Structure 1
Amino acid sequence: MNCPICHEPLTLEGKSYQCKNKHTFDRAKSGYVNLSRKQKASGDNKLMVQARSEFLESGYYAFLKDELQKLMAKHQPKCYLDLGCGQGYYTKDLSQYAKSAYGIDLSVPAITHASKIDKHTQYIVGSIYDLPFEGQEMDLLTSIFTPIPTKEAARVLKPTGYLVTVTPGKMHHVELKEQLYENVRYNPPLKPLEGFELVEQQEISQVHHVQDVMALLKMTPYFYKTPKEAIEKLQANQQGLAITFHFVISTWRKIDENKN
């Protein structure tokens, strides 16, 4: 890891990380380090982290994690980084395939949760748009439902490295949207990533009956964009909903600019 101020390497000195210029970052009891330079709280708050954790631990997205583990087993990266790792639901299992593993997110509550349940991974509070790593240091990156920082991803990836992205498929959560909105918008297809070429792509989907639909809603962006009346209607639903979970898993390789 590098210092976010002067970009010199950080070394662990006792309970703190320090660079040669004496910039110091304390290591939390649970093991994470805060390298964010933001003064205000960012990312998911404690309530959002709790809601997302409860939903994910119910196993609805387990089939997605299974497919990602197959990819990790295939590539066997030495150095792995999960971009926007949240509370570490995917990171914890995917990191087991790497010799060294990192997870980065701006949410302190999410990183605190992740670092408590996963001691194999070094968790970092920081921005995915200003990664605290040397150039060409990573063998594999994952970006699971997060914005994709293409420039930083290309910078830290080795020439032989890969970026794996997970994005919502067209029908993802369509039944939930039908409950909330008069005019349903389907998720658009994934656009090409600047500086990367697509190596392989697969779409996977399953339909599950979700009893606590509000728990699902609270972990989506819809919760903050939905009229109060629609949320009240959903809260009154005691039967639950059959919901489609549709994912697009894409593997990208950095384009070699020196290649003719």
Structure 2
Amino acid sequence: MLICPKCKEPLVKQEKCFVCSNHHVYDIARQSYVNLSMKQKKHSGDNALMVKARSSFLESDVYDFMRQFVCQQLSIYEIKTLLDAGCGQGYYTKAFSQIVQSCVGIDLSKEAILYASKQDKKTQYIVSSFFDAPFTDSSFDGIVSIFVPQAADEFARLLQEKGIWIEVGPGPKHCLELKEVLYQTPYLNPMSSKELSNFELVKETILSQKKWIKDCWSLLEMTPYRYKTHPKALEKVKELQGMDVTIEFLIRIWRKK
């Protein structure tokens, strides 16, 4: 399943490393993850502070109703071999691993993968980009991607025939109340979707709940609005003592043609 990111030859697992036929060696970390990233930058993906903040918010289970829905879909579509693309610190992945026979989590953030691998010993975690994923063709019958960019061509390569891709993004009203604090004219998130040449759309669902959010700043840091908003407007969110916020997800289920 795993291939060498340098030469694309299959990787063979040995006691403490993966090795390809060209003798490229990748050590298995003490926490059981392996770094197959070709981008050896010091700060790729989320750093340790960002991982800690995201973990703290996610573990409050505000997003749990979406996680449960995705788990149900994995059962309905009888997914056995799953890739969680852009898995972050493994909040969703750990739950998915209880549903499927084999689960792999991939993320470019070494800090996020380190956190995930400490919490979840059942999943194989990989440090790498999912746009050039180090796996052989047709390695999985299911892929989940949650709040990450589309990589439709790569997902088509990785999926088996008729494989299922569950894509989760923000619904139209996601965090609307926060945007009413931030902007004079708050806007709904677009629902536009282009046709994908390698996939057919099987199902589209909007999940929505209102949640009391005590720490609105932590929620804001989970969104792109944190980086697109004037600092003075951001201060308003820091001053909030809590509020009801619409938590809404747009979930699309695609089948490989």
Query: Which TM bucket (shorter chain)?
Result: over 0.9
Aligned AA for 1:209?
W
Tell me, in whole angstroms, the C-alpha distance in 1 between the residues paired with 2:199 and 2:53. 34
In structure 2, do the counterparts of structure 1 residues 11 and 190 end up closer, same or farther at CA, with 3 Å as the change threshold? farther
CA deviation after TM superposition for structure 1 residue 202, in Å? 1.3
1:116 matches 2:115 = no
Identify the residue that residue 64 of structure 1 maps to in structure 2.
66
Tell me, in whole angstroms, the C-alpha distance in 2 between the residues paired with 1:219 and 1:79. 28
CA deviation after TM superposition for structure 1 residue 182, in Å? 1.8
Tell me, in whole angstroms, the C-alpha distance in 2 between the residues paired with 1:100 and 1:237. 43
| Aligned partner (choices 134, 147, 150) of residue 149 of structure 2 | 147
Identify the residue that residue 230 of structure 2 maps to in structure 1.
227
CA deviation after TM superposition for structure 1 residue 185, in Å? 2.3
SS in 2 for 1:97: coil
Tell me, in whole angstroms, the C-alpha distance in 2 between the residues paired with 1:193 and 1:159. 18
Q: Which moved more, 1:95-104 or 1:112-121?
A: 95-104
CA deviation after TM superposition for structure 1 residue 132, in Å? 0.9
CA deviation after TM superposition for structure 1 residue 193, in Å? 4.4
Identify the residue that residue 38 of structure 2 maps to in structure 1.
37
| Aligned partner (choices 177, 180, 183) of residue 179 of structure 2 | 177
Q: Is the 8 A contact 1:167 1:190 kept in 2?
A: no
SS in 2 for 1:244: strand
Query: Deviation string for 1:104-135 (max 9, x for gaps)?
Result: 01011111111111111100010111011111
Structure 1: which 4+ aligned runs deviate by more than 4 Å? none
Aligned AA for 1:218?
E
Tell me, in whole angstroms, the C-alpha distance in 1 between the residues paired with 2:81 and 2:231. 45
Tell me, in whole angstroms, the C-alpha distance in 1 between the residues paired with 2:79 and 2:240. 45
| Aligned partner (choices 193, 196, 203) of residue 206 of structure 2 | 203
SS in 1 for 2:211: strand
SS in 2 for 1:90: helix
Tell me, in whole angstroms, the C-alpha distance in 1 between the residues paired with 2:227 and 2:204. 31
Aligned AA for 1:26?
D
Identify the residue that residue 258 of structure 1 maps to in structure 2.
none
Aligned AA for 1:149?
A
Tell me, in whole angstroms, the C-alpha distance in 1 between the residues paired with 2:29 and 2:111. 12
Aligned AA for 1:204?
L
CA deviation after TM superposition for structure 1 residue 75, in Å? 2.1
| Aligned partner (choices 159, 162, 165) of residue 161 of structure 2 | 159
Tell me, in whole angstroms, the C-alpha distance in 1 between the residues paired with 2:222 and 2:202. 30
Query: Deviation string for 1:34-62 (max 9, x for gaps)?
Result: 10011212111111111111111111111
CA deviation after TM superposition for structure 1 residue 219, in Å? 1.9
Identity within the alignment, %: 48
TM-score by length of 1: 0.95
Q: Is the 8 A contact 1:214 1:234 kept in 2?
A: yes
TM-score by length of 2: 0.96
Tell me, in whole angstroms, the C-alpha distance in 2 between the residues paired with 1:26 and 1:57. 30
Gaps of 5+ in 1: 256-260
Tell me, in whole angstroms, the C-alpha distance in 1 between the residues paired with 2:150 and 2:166. 10
Tell me, in whole angstroms, the C-alpha distance in 2 between the residues paired with 1:95 and 1:160. 21
Identify the residue that residue 26 of structure 1 maps to in structure 2.
27
Q: Is the 8 A contact 1:48 1:219 kept in 2?
A: no
